[in-house]
Amino acid sequence: MEEKKKKKPGCLEHIIAFFLTIALIIFLLVYGLKSCAAKLEEAEKDKKTEKQDPYYNDKIDVWCLVQERVEKELVSPKSASFPFGGAQKHVECTAPGIFIVRSYVDAKNAYGAEIRQNFFAKVVKYENGKFEVIQLTFESPF
C-alpha cells in the first residue's frame, strides 16, 4: 500500500499569504489615516468657527440648557429628538449676554404619536457666568 503524502505548503503559498497580509495592513493604515484626517479637518473647522464667533462656547451652553428645559415640558422626554448642529444653527446672540433660540423638537405626545413642536426660548447670561432661561414658548402645531 502506498501511503499518501500530505502536501506541505510550498513557497508560492507562503509568498501569496505574505502579500495578502501586507495588502491588508496597507489597507487598514490608509483607511485609518483617512479617518484621522477627516477628524482633524473637522476639529480645525470647529476651531475656525470658534475664533470667528466669540459666543461659540456660550451658544453650546445655551443650547444644552434649553434642551433640558424643553424636555421637562414634554410628555415623553426620552423620545425627544433635537436637530443636529443646534448650537450654531438655532442659537443667536442678540446682545452681549442675551441669546435667542428658535428650533424644534420631535417627540411623542400623550397618544404615542411623534410630532414636531417648534419652540422659542430667551436665555440670559449673568455676570457670574450662570445662564437662565427666562422665556420658553411652544408654537401650536395647528
Q: Is the pTM of this model over 0.85?
A: no
Q: Which of 58, 57, 64, 77 is nearest to 117 (CA)?
A: 77
27, 94: one domain: no
Contacts of 100 (CB under 8 A, 6+ apart): 91, 92, 94, 120, 121, 122, 123
What is the grid cell recorded at 141? 402645531
User: How far is residue 46 CA from its own chain's centroid?
Assistant: 13
Q: Which of 100, 107, 109, 111 is nearest to 136 (CA)?
A: 100
125, 61: one domain: yes
The number of distinct structural domains making up the chain is 2
Calculate the average pLDDT of the chain: 84
pLDDT tens, position by position, 15-35:
888 888 888 888 777 777 676
121, 73: one domain: yes
Residue-range definition of the domain harbouring residue 46: 10-52
Using CA atoms, how far apart are residues 43 and 69, in angstroms rounded to an integer?
Answer: 29
Count of C-beta atoms within a 10 Å radius of residue 52: 8
112, 81: one domain: yes
Widest pairwise Cα distance in the chain: 98
pLDDT tens, position by position, 51-79:
678 888 999 999 999 999 999 999 999 99
